[in-house]
Every structure is written in C-alpha cells, then in structure tokens.
C-alpha cells in the first residue's frame, strides 16, 4: 500500500502490519497522535477523536476501531468481511472502519458514500462532489440529506416495475 484514502484501506494496513518491537505491541492509537507514517507520508491524527481503540485522521478521511477477538461485527454498518486464506475476522482481533455508510440508486447510477467525516456524492458519468465536515454527526446529517434528495429524484423517474 502506498497511501491511505479511506477507512477500509487504513483497516487493511493495520490488520496486515506486525509490531516491530515488543514495545510497539503494547501501543494503542493514543500513542500515535504525532502521526502515522506510511510509505514516506505522515498522516496527521485527530487527537480529540482518537482513543485507545479508535484511530481517526485529522483530515476526516478515515477512522478505524479495534475489535477484540470474538467480537461480532457482521450485520453492522461496518462489516468485518472475510479475507480468503485467513481465519474468519471474528476469530481474531482486528481493525474495522469506524463509521461508514453507502447508498446507491441502481436505476440512475447515482449514490452517496460517507466515510467518517467525509461525504461523497457521485454518479456514473464521472460527477463527484466530496465534502469533509467538522464532525461525524454533521457528516451523517449531510449524507442523509443527499440520500433523501437523490432517492426522491430516483423514485420520480422509476416505478417498482422498472
């Protein structure tokens, strides 16, 4: 991985990394508030949103949470997923995206994605509009407004028979 653009990539990076020293193995995200260094780039950490089991980037692009072994995150808005060739994620401790949501209208190929504090509205013609909000609550509310507007347009153009 050369850079991190979203929570899923951050989770994958952390899940695939091993501590370099025994001291590193005892660290939590609180120990990383000076930044996370990846492939020569330093990602600033949001010290206010980062806890002992959550790592959040200051730019609002990504946040992950630690799930202890045995935690069940299936059926949540942030499913752990199964990686081929590895034990089921629920059987081991692992990182998952902290707060994401996605909606798409299949008829019109439009949608809204939210990853932590970032909201992206897109369509299949290449349109994309990304806004980073000051808080997760503001991003959630903005994403809900965008979904409602697009869902109304989508329902006006299509019936259940389409």
Q: What pLDDT score was predicted for residue 108? A: 73
pLDDT digits (tens, 9 = 90+) for 57-90: 999 999 999 988 776 554 444 445 544 444 554 5
**Strand-pair partners of 52:** none
pLDDT at site 75? 40
**pLDDT tens readout for residues 13-27:** 999 888 889 998 899
CA 52 to chain CA centroid, nearest Å: 18
Are 23 and 36 in contact, with CB atoms under 8 Å apart? no
| pLDDT of 42 above 70 | yes
Task: Identify whether the C-beta of residue 31 lies closer than 8 Å to the C-beta of residue 50.
Answer: no
> How remote is the C-alpha of 89 from its chain's centroid?
17
CA–CA distance, 80 with 88 (Å, rounded to integer): 9
pLDDT tens digits for range 100-137:
999 999 777 899 999 999 999 999 899 999 999 999 99
Nearest CA-CA partner of 37 in 14, 7, 21: 14
Is the pTM higher than 0.75?
A: yes
What the block records as the tokens of 113 is 């994605």
């Amino acid at each position: 991985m050369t850079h991190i653009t979203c929570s899923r990539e951050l989770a994958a990076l952390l899940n695939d990394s091993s501590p370099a020293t025994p001291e590193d193995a005892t660290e939590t995200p609180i120990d990383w508030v000076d930044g996370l260094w990846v492939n020569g780039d330093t990602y600033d950490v949001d010290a206010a949103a980062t806890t002992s089991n959550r790592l959040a980037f200051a730019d609002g692009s990504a946040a992950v949470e630690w799930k202890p072994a045995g935690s069940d995150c299936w059926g949540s808005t942030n499913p752990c997923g199964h990686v081929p060739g590895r034990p089921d994620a629920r059987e081991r401790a692992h990182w998952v995206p902290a707060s994401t949501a996605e909606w798409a209208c299949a008829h019109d190929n439009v949608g809204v994605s939210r990853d932590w504090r970032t909201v992206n509205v897109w369509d299949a013609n290449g349109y994309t509009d990304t806004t980073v909000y000051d808080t997760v609550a503001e991003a959630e509310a903005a994403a809900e407004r965008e979904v409602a507007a697009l869902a109304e347009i989508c329902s006006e153009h299509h019936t259940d028979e389409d």
